[in-house]
């Protein structure tokens, strides 16, 4: 039986400069509010990737999964504030009791663009979902700047250069007085050949 497709992510993007929505949460609840909001992002991306179900009954379970020490009342207030300021979609929360947003879904879809079998529930979708292709031009294996491709090109160039016939050694001079020792000629020839191969590699 084939292994089921992974839904969640192992990591997600978190911008260094967050928008004013997070600033409003931090202003209202301090660092604790910011931590809860980021923990909610972790829960969403880790579990189902682009949303999580949320209700009063599920808060203790989510609190445990997120490893939060804050009280259930505080978590509930922060979630309501996140919905109020637009970190999460008010419409989808009211209709389906889920936490998600357009930004969450866009980041998720970028992260899983090369996965097969990704399904996004149509009723939860806030973005247009297109069919993903594993063997597209963005695949780094096909990238012209891929170091593996560079190594293959260098290896092929070296193979071609090595298969070319070597130039013939110079003819011996006619005057016997200028004739070198054969071992000395061979040493010079080997040095010249090594230098040529080194230049061909670079």
- Asked if residues 66 and 27 have their Cβ atoms less than 8 Å apart, the reply is no
Whether residue 8 lies inside any domain: the answer is: no
| Prediction pTM value | 0.60
Summarised one tens digit per residue, pLDDT across range 39-92 is 898 888 888 888 999 988 888 888 888 787 788 888 999 999 999 999 999 999
* Beta bridge pairs of residue 99: 52
Whether residue 3 lies inside any domain: the answer is: no
- Asked if residues 68 and 37 have their Cβ atoms less than 8 Å apart, the reply is no
- 118 shares its domain with 24: yes
Summarised one tens digit per residue, pLDDT across range 4-20 is 666 777 767 777 777 88
- 176 shares its domain with 109: no
Whether residue 2 lies inside any domain: the answer is: no
Summarised one tens digit per residue, pLDDT across range 16-36 is 777 889 899 999 999 899 989
- 86 shares its domain with 171: no
- 83 shares its domain with 28: yes
- The total number of structural domains in the chain stands at 2
Tell me the residue range of the domain where 38 lies.
20-124
Which residue intervals of 86-146 are DSSP H helices? 90-96, 102-111
């Amino acid at each position: 039986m084939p292994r089921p497709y992974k839904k969640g992510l192992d990591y997600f993007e978190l911008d260094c400069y967050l928008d004013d929505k997070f600033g409003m949460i931090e202003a209202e609840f301090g660092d604790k509010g910011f931590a809860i909001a980021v923990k909610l992002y972790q829960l969403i991306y880790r579990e189902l990737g682009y949303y999580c179900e949320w209700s009063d009954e599920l808060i203790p379970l989510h609190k445990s999964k997120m490893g939060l020490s804050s009280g259930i009342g505080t978590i509930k207030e922060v979630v309501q504030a996140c919905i109020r300021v637009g970190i999460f979609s008010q419409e989808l929360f009211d209709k389906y009791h889920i936490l998600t947003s357009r930004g969450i879904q866009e980041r998720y879809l970028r992260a899983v663009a090369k996965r097969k079998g990704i399904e996004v529930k149509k009723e939860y979708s806030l973005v247009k979902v297109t069919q993903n292709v594993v063997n597209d031009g963005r695949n780094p294996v096909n990238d012209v700047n891929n170091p593996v491709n560079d190594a293959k090109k260098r290896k092929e160039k070296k193979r071609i250069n090595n298969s070319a016939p070597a130039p013939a050694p110079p003819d011996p001079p006619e005057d016997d007085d200028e004739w070198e020792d054969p071992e000395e000629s061979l040493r010079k020839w080997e040095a010249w050949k090594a230098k040529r191969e080194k230049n061909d590699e670079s």
